[in-house]
Amino acid sequence: MADINLKGMGVALITPFKEDESVDYDALGKLVDYQLQNGTDYLVVLGTTAETPTLTEEEKKKIVDLIVTKVNGRIPIVLGVGGNCTRTIVDKLKNDNFDGIDAILSVVPYYNKPSQEGIYQHYKAIAEATKLPIVLYNVPGRTGVNMSAATTLRIAREFKNVVAVKEASGNITQMDDIIKNKPANFNVISGDDGITFPLITLGAIGVISVIGNAFPREFSRMVRLALAGDYDNARKIHHGFTELFELLFVDGNPAGAKSMLNAMGFIENKLRLPLVPTRITTFEKIRDVLRQLSIKC
């Protein structure tokens, strides 16, 4: 099993679409270059923020191939491989080509609402199907079920290739419990930009960020300062983004991130149904905040 360093800021990449809703591969390539040039520590590909459920298998393959080629080994790539059918995920892990992929991110099964034992057995099957490092992803607001600290720790202790959890439960007490009791080879990663700073002070190693799509240099600096213990300067950057944290998700993800990137001139403001762009009022508020931050828009 290859080692992977997930300390710092990973970015959950969006998928740009053209006006006709086809994938804008040119814009995606430019976004990857933007990340590489501005301090992003690793990329998360085909996650929630990428609108992955709306992509065809052919589009997913082209997106992964483009990003792997662009990155060319300079930073790690974490690929989203999740779902609510364990057998399908296992088959994919055993049969697909993962050249250029450094780890997988796998979400707690959604819709089915499995028990804690079901969640454990799901990840057991996944861990035994691949030698790649695995990052668990707990996001009960989307999946309908919370993976408890006890289940996370059980998985972390029993499977050495399960190396981290992206925690987006919003439950600081639960996250702190995991950090306090985790094995040495396992880490906690923030799944929520807004709580990244306080979570790092508790012992998290960084974030898989949405706002990093638009602000990789600034947000990665905040993460590095916090990790270095320079809490005063990290807090200043954190507070500078407070309003954007709220605007980012008020109309859903990735609508907020796409509005920001559109206002900054990177992409068309297009999503695929059932997702739609932010409301005009939200978009105008985002533009106002960007102007205050001296971002060209």
Which residues are catalytic, by number? 137, 166
Contact 193, 207 (CB under 8 A): yes
**Which residue type, as a one-letter code, is found at position 241?**
F
Kindly write down the DSSP assignment for every residue of the chain, as one continuous string. -------EEEEE----B-TTS-B-HHHHHHHHHHHHHTT--EEEESSGGGTGGGS-HHHHHHHHHHHHHHHTTSS-EEEE---S-HHHHHHHHHHS--TT--EEEEEPPPSS---HHHHHHHHHHHHHH-SS-EEEEE-HHHHSS---HHHHHHHHHH-TTEEEEEE-S--HHHHHHHHHH--TT-EEEES-GGGHHHHHHHT--EEEESGGGT-HHHHHHHHHHHHTT-HHHHHHHHHHTHHHHHHHHTT-TTHHHHHHHHHTTSS-----TT--PPPHHHHHHHHHHHHHTT---
Q: Whole-angstrom distance between the N-terminal and C-terminal Cα of the chain? A: 44
Angle of helix 280-292 relative to helix 242-249, nearest 10 degrees? Answer: 160
Distance CA 100, CA 69 (A): 8
Give the Å distances, CA to CA, from 61 to 31, 78, 97: 18, 14, 10
